Amino acid sequence: MIAQVLLPFPTDATFDFSVPERLISALNVGQRVRVRFRGEERLGILLHLALETKHPGALEEILGIHEGPAFSEEALAFSTHVAEHYVAPLGVVLNRTLPARTSAERDRFFVVGLGLGETSARLGTLEKRAPRQAAVLRLLLSLSGPVSMREMRKSLGAVGAPLTRLVQAGLVRELDREHEKPPRISLSLADCGKEWADRFHRSSRVLLFARDRWGTYAALVRHALSLSRRAIVLAPEILLARELALYLRKDVGCEIELYHSALAQREQGDVWERARRGEARVVVGTRSALFLPLADLGLLIVDEEQDRSYKQEEMVPHYHARSVAPTRAGKGLVVLGSGAPSLESFHAGQHGVLELVRPHEAGRLQQIRVIDLRRERGPLSAPLVSAIEQTLAAHRQVIVGVNRLGYFQAVLCKECGRSLGCPTCGVNLTYRPGRGQLACHVCGKAYSGLVCAHCGSRSLRFVGLGAERVEEEMRLRFPQAKVARIDVDVLRTSGEERAIERVLGGEVDILVATAMFAKGPVLPAVGLVAAVGVDGLLALPDFRAAEWTYQYLVGLAGRLSDGEAVVETHYPDHYAIQAAAARDYDGFYARESAERCALSYPPFAHLARVVGPASDDPAGKRVREIMASFGVETLGPSTLLARRGCHAFVLRGGDEQKLREACLVLRREIPRVEIDLDPTRL
């Protein structure tokens, strides 16, 4: 028997290995196997089993089966589709998708062993005699349904001894996940979800345009569970995914798996295998959760569908979760949720590709006050300072949104005028004043020399407001207030759980937050939200800059139940600012879509971004020839949009299929080229 193995190389080709007799019965397609390739031991994915090989000569034997996560047939097919759709090498995609390993032991699950009345009575006694046992019991009572040992450790630390005593006393019972069926959802809750499912009767592909969506999500999840189907709920950020998971656990009443890239490989592997074994019923996660081998999928929700984080920009495959969600869901219901939809999704809803559900929402929408910075001095305007003072005096929280990490928004070279970017990732570098260095927030690399990489000049200019600078300004202006910051750097050190606890628990008076916090449900304790430094977003060299600005401002204001929303800008008359201030999505859509149509930008055309070594096609002649043969326009090459030693092209075509076919031909002729279909940035 011949095993065709896909190794982690930028190729679609498999490599043949013979299967030793001892492994024949244990080998399955989708497993990770150990092989020797060119003298080195490597891991690869078993893609096919065959009886013959075309390889001349003797074959190396498979060394063994890797004890770790494996693809299901359905997950393998979906991952293959993503690679093909986005013209990405299959070897890289499959090997990157599958987690490396799992924990040695399987998780254990526990439920309350007695009735609610008796348990509550015993809890009062335990509070005084055995507080650690009481903490475990309280957690089990607060989270209806089975709770895993892993989750208890996450919330309470070491729980082994108190849990053992509770089990011995009969207050807690260990659940045999192999043989016991999970509790059924009550009919009343299932019916609640059925009402929403019935509203989406015309299509299984829905755009839910609403501010308050999480209650609808919970109802739909309950309905899917009542039909013995499973659900995936996506959030664009890890922070929001955790909030959403906590909300659904309390509302739905069953265990919610959490899956995202910040989990350790062992934890990712554990969730992957629970999904493959059919133990996971509901998964909340970021875009990577789409690849989990969750069978019988009845519901797939993409919350904040307009968010750029759903597009994988950093590495291949450059997929967009929103675009591949229908394929992943199959016949299941797909719900794209947003309070400010992407132009592509709203356009699809207007033209019947998606069913547009736009329920009437009671209550007055919070308007946004625009402060004209042309009449102000300093990083914070006098009206904003006054508004913060009044909010703090009323003992309410303030959220100050800053759309950029670090101390400044950008570092520019005075000599050549270019912004200092990461040579690897191409994004603008962030200045860290405490360390005197520039850093990339994508790959984490730090550069100690404050020198322009393009011309070597040390004459630099620092522009704009970053989150760290605003935090420092808040501490100086309001020394009595408790000031905190939430951004990627903070979450890496303190963890998202603690960050949420501090904000929701009232430990923070003024929160300085990047765009990750400008989405999610209402925060009742907040009396003021303010957007500062928004002009940097509006001025981005991208055709979507106005759309991103509108969505950012509306999302930030959406965290406010009552109080005041403020935006500082030098461009108070810009249509994106005006539309956001009035919460006029339809007016914004009409203006923006007219400009997009005139300039042939999505949703009225399709784009691709191509980056490759300049040495492979120095003048871009071959790129232009291939694209012209398919009727695709070629823009470029540009060295500003690419990494050092490379050049980039933007491709534009009216027919999506022809653009993809042209990119396939291009990749065959120039194998080292990297292709990003439907890029979120140019």
Answer for the pair 147, 139: CB distance below 8 angstroms, yes or no.
yes
128 vs 26: which has the higher pLDDT: 26
What is the reported pLDDT for 48?
A: 93
- DSSP codes of every residue in 621-634: HHHHHHHHHTT-EE
Q: pLDDT at position 499, please?
A: 55
Alpha-carbon distance of 429 to 406, in angstroms, equals 9
Around Cβ 507, how many Cβ atoms within 10 Å?
A: 12
Grade residue 593 by pLDDT with cuts at 50, 70 and 90: very high
DSSP codes of every residue in 331-398 = TSEEEEEESS--HHHHHHHHTTSSEEE-----SPPPPEEEEEGGG--SSS-HHHHHHHHHHHHTT-EE
Selected residue with higher pLDDT from 501 and 72? 72
Residue with tokens 């630390």: 157
Helices and strands, counts by H and E, the chain: 22, 30
Task: Inform me whether the pLDDT recorded for 181 exceeds 60.
Answer: no
CA distance 618 to 624: 12
Query: What is the model's pLDDT at position 417?
Result: 58
Assess contact for 172 and 166: CB atoms under 8 A.
Answer: yes
Q: What is the pLDDT of residue 411?
A: 65
Element (H, E) at 602: none
pLDDT digits (tens, 9 = 90+) for 432-475: 665 666 776 555 567 666 777 667 677 766 656 777 888 888 88
User: Mean pLDDT over residues 480-509, rounded?
Assistant: 68
Q: What is the pLDDT of residue 254?
A: 76
| Pairing state between β 230-234 and 257-259 | unpaired
**Could you tell me which residues come within 8 angstroms of residue 455 by beta carbon, excluding any fewer than 6 positions away?**
413, 415, 416, 418
Given a cut of 80, whether residue 204 has pLDDT beyond it is: yes
Among 164-168, 198-202, 665-669, top mean pLDDT goes to 665-669
Architecture of domain 187-357 in this structure: 3-Layer(aba) Sandwich (3.40)
- The C-alpha atoms of residue 164 and residue 174 are separated, in whole angstroms, by 10
Residue type present at position 523: L
Instruction: Tell me what pLDDT residue 80 has.
Output: 95
pLDDT of residue 179: 42
* Most trustworthy range by pLDDT among 288-292, 424-428, 484-488: 288-292
Strand partners, 608: 651, 677
Strand pairing class (147-148; 109-112): antiparallel
Burial 102-129 (b: 16+ CB within 10 A, else e): beeeeebbbbbbeeeeebeebeeebeee
pLDDT tier at 364 (50, 70, 90 boundaries)? low
Query: Does domain 2-97 bear CATH number 3.40.50.300?
Result: no
What is the DSSP secondary-structure string of 48-102?
Answer: EEES-----S--PBP-EE-SS----HHHHHHHHHHHHHTT--HHHHHHHHS-S--
* Residue range 665-681, pLDDT digits in tens: 999 998 888 999 999 87
Say which DSSP state 186 is in. P
Q: Which of 652, 651, 646 is nearest to 673 (CA)?
A: 646
Predicted confidence at residue 194, as pLDDT, reads 59
Question: Tokens 């990461």 identify what position?
Answer: 422
What is the structure's pLDDT at 664?
93
Q: Which residues contact 20 (CB under 8 A, 6 or more apart)?
A: 61, 62
- pLDDT grade, residue 190 (50/70/90)? very low
pLDDT of residue 478: 92
Is residue 325 a contact partner of residue 300, using CB atoms and an 8 Å limit? yes
- Asked if the bond preceding 603 is cis, omega within 30° of 0, the reply is yes
CB count within 10 Å of CB 401 equals 28
Give the mean pLDDT of the chain: 84
Burial of 42 (0-12, 13-18, 19+ CB in 10 A): middle
Of residues 113 and 406, which shows the higher confidence score?
113
Task: Give the pLDDT confidence score for residue 125 in this predicted structure.
Answer: 79
pLDDT of residue 186: 39
Q: Using alpha carbons, select from 612, 617, 655, 618 the residue that is nearest to residue 633.
A: 655
Instruction: Please classify residue 38 by burial: count the beta carbons closer than 10 Å to its beta carbon, then call 0-12 exposed, 13-18 middle and 19+ buried.
Output: exposed
pLDDT at 332 over 50: yes
- The CATH H-level (homologous superfamily) assignment of domain 368-409+464-596 is P-loop containing nucleotide triphosphate hydrolases (3.40.50.300)
Confidence at residue 184, expressed as pLDDT on a 0 to 100 scale: 39
Q: If you write DSSP's letter for every residue of 488-506 in order, what string do you get? A: HHHHHHH-HHHHHHHHHTT
- Asked, colleague to colleague, whether 368-409+464-596 and 606-677 share their fold, the answer is no
Tell me the backbone φ, ψ of residue 654, rounded to 5 degrees. Answer: -85, -25
Q: What is the pLDDT of residue 262?
A: 81
- Structure-token pair, residue 388: 């913060």
120-161, pLDDT tens digit by residue?
778 877 887 888 888 888 888 776 567 777 777 766 777 888
Q: What is the DSSP string of 509-548?
A: SEEEE-GGGSSSS--TTEEEEEEESTHHHHTSSSTTHHHH
Q: pLDDT confidence of 606, banded at 50, 70, 90?
A: very high
Do the beta carbons of residue 473 and residue 379 sit within 8 Å? yes
Give the mean model confidence (pLDDT) for residues 546-553: 94
More confident residue, 515 or 654: 654
Which of 157-161, 253-257, 334-338, 490-494 is predicted least confidently? Answer: 490-494
Give me the pLDDT at residue 143, please.
66
Name, of 183-197, 246-260, 571-585, the range with top average pLDDT.
571-585
pLDDT range class, residue 188, cuts 50, 70, 90: very low
Reported as a single tens digit per residue, the pLDDT across 75-110 is 999 999 999 999 999 999 999 999 988 776 666 788
* Class of CATH domain 606-677: alpha beta
The helix (run of H) or strand (run of E) holding residue 477 is: helix 467-477
User: For 340-360, what is the mean pLDDT?
Assistant: 93
Domain boundaries, the chain: 2-97, 109-175, 187-357, 368-409+464-596, 606-677
